[in-house]
């Protein structure tokens, strides 16, 4: 695309800021953040135009996407190097891979570029919009920079820089950053603040519960999970049909993370020891855990984790459903025996 949109009277080419912004946005969509940065840095000297809010927003979005793609690539390489791992946290692995020069810590990281652009636009008197804030926080989240993610979020509430408060995307990215950084207390604090401003969603709960489960804060995790059930943010139960076309109520966990699935299963099994169990023990407990088709490598993730939890924590045996190998079944007689009914 030719950036030069018009021609001056003396014949020298010039460009409009809209034309340059369009090229920057196109380069971002084409996964070329390096081109984005080059054009942005040359706008004044080469094209005689000044960057505006749209310019910086498009550039920051491109940097955010590049940071997330970098993380996905690292995760794939980690899985190939450690195929026995059920889940991979890229923060557990070195950031530099000799076979991948883009991981060199001496080079500018894309989250740093996004943060630098964010500060630069503010220094130039430009006001970030909600998408710009969200993209900067998301870039920091992808890199595990939870302190910086929280810092950016706080500027949205402590400074009169925007007429909008943080939206769910901003909160979710900051909470996810805390989860990846092992900052469970900060994740819970952000969650409580979010509840006063924006309704949390499934993604919110997933990050908060992972943070708590990984920190061995089981009681707090289960308490927050019950809140999510009450608010219908998490809905693990659904009606389906068995092999005889009879309607049955099943627990559907195939969209859950391993941590959330464990918390959900504990909530059900523990309820058998209370006055109000959440499942009728006179019926088999059917748990949908999926066949692994949705995982990156196609391997089952939830099934072995749920089976082990039931056996090791509760002494309950579960079996793969004969009619559907994406389901686990706990027989009603075993549930009666466990609950001592």
Comparison of pLDDT for 212 and 243, the residue scoring more: 212
Q: Among 197, 230, 263, which residue terminates a domain?
A: 230
**Predicted pLDDT at 246:** 85
Answer whether 261's CB lies under 8 Å from 303's CB.
no
Regarding whether 126 and 152 lie in a shared domain, the answer is yes
Q: What is the DSSP string of 108-123?
A: PPHHHHHHHHHHHHHH
Comparison of pLDDT for 324 and 5, the residue scoring more: 324
Q: Round the average pLDDT of the chain to a whole number and report it.
A: 85
* 5, part of any domain: no
Encode 167-205: b = buried (16+ Cβ within 10 Å), e = exposed: bbbbbbbbbbbbbbbbbbebbbebbebbeeebebbebbb
**Sign of the torsion formed by the C-alpha atoms of 159, 165, 170 and 175:** positive
Q: Count structural domains, the chain.
A: 2
Regarding whether 202 and 107 lie in a shared domain, the answer is yes
Distance CA 66, CA 59 (A): 11
**Predicted pLDDT at 271:** 95
**Predicted pLDDT at 242:** 76
**Predicted pLDDT at 224:** 97
* 143, part of any domain: yes
Q: What is the pLDDT of residues 179-227, one digit of tens each?
A: 999 999 999 999 999 999 999 999 999 999 999 999 999 999 999 999 9
**Predicted pLDDT at 157:** 63
In 10 A of CB 341, how many CB atoms? 10
Comparison of pLDDT for 16 and 265, the residue scoring more: 265
DSSP 8-state code for residue 128: P
298 — pLDDT class (breaks 50, 70, 90): low
* 210, part of any domain: yes
State which residues form the domain around 306. Answer: 237-339
Q: What is the pLDDT of residues 109-163, one digit of tens each?
A: 899 999 999 999 999 999 999 999 999 999 999 998 999 999 999 988 655 444 5
Regarding whether 335 and 243 lie in a shared domain, the answer is yes
Arithmetic mean of pLDDT, 219-236: 95
Regarding whether 168 and 111 lie in a shared domain, the answer is yes
């Amino acid at each position: 695309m030719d950036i030069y949109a018009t021609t001056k009277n003396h014949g020298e080419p010039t460009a409009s800021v809209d034309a340059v912004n369009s090229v920057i946005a196109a380069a971002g969509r084409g996964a070329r953040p390096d081109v984005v940065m080059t054009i942005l840095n040359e706008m004044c000297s080469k094209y005689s135009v000044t960057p505006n809010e749209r310019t910086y927003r498009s550039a920051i979005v491109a940097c955010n996407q590049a940071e997330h793609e970098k993380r996905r690539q690292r995760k794939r390489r980690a899985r190939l190097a450690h195929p026995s791992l059920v889940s991979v946290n890229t923060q557990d692995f070195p950031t530099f891979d000799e076979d991948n020069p883009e991981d060199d810590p001496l080079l500018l990281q894309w989250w740093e570029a996004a943060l630098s652009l964010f500060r630069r636009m503010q220094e130039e008197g430009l006001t970030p919009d909600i998408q710009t804030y969200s993209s900067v926080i998301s870039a920091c989240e992808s890199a595990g920079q939870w302190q910086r993610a929280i810092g950016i979020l706080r500027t949205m509430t402590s400074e009169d820089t925007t007429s909008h408060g943080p939206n769910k995307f901003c909160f979710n990215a900051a909470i996810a950053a805390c989860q990846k950084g092992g900052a469970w207390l900060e994740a819970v604090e952000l969650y409580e603040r979010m509840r006063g401003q924006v309704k949390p969603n499934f993604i919110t709960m997933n990050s908060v519960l992972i943070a708590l489960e990984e920190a061995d804060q089981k009681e707090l995790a289960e308490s927050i999970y019950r809140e999510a059930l009450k608010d219908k943010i998490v809905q693990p139960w659904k009606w389906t049909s068995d092999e005889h076309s009879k309607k049955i109520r099943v627990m559907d966990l195939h969209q859950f993370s391993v941590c959330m699935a464990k918390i959900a299963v504990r909530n059900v099994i523990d309820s058998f020891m209370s006055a109000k169990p959440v499942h009728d023990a006179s019926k088999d407990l059917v748990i949908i855990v999926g066949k692994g088709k949705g995982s990156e490598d196609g391997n089952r993730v939830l099934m072995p984790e749920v089976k082990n939890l039931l056996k090791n924590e509760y002494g309950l045996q579960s079996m793969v459903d004969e009619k559907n190998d994406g389901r686990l079944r706990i027989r009603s007689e075993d549930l009666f025996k466990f609950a001592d009914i």
